[in-house]
Structure 1
Amino acid sequence: MKIIIEQDKCVASGQCVMAADDVFDQRDEDGIVVLLNEDPSPERLEDVKQAAMVCPALAITVQETTS
């Protein structure tokens, strides 16, 4: 999977961190999303997709890739 974050769209709600805290975090100074893990295991796909879905700013895009 490929995860794309658009920090300029992020509204710092933290929903992504709650959905997949090993993949996403927030900057201390302003709460903007930070991608911790660019290549999470396939088992995390559903959580990462959930994080993208609950993002109120639609700042996260998940592209499924084939090997």
Structure 2
Amino acid sequence: MPIRQKLEEAGVFKPAEIEMLVRVFAATCPKFENVCDREQRAARIIAQYQAGVRDEAELTELARKPLGH
């Protein structure tokens, strides 16, 4: 799963944070998504979390929006 790999590579997240971000990633997975789009979605979720969005529901809502909205 791309998001778990990105989180582990960053090495700055606690296990509970990783689990929450993985849940957001899994909850926002569209039916058909290519590898590039999946990696971009993972990177956006991580960036939003690092920017201060800590609420799981808010992260999920933001991750479901198309880029630029």
Q: TM-score range by the shorter chain?
A: under 0.3
TM-score when scaled to structure 2? 0.26
Normalized against structure 1, the TM-score is what?
0.27
The structure richer in helix per residue is 2
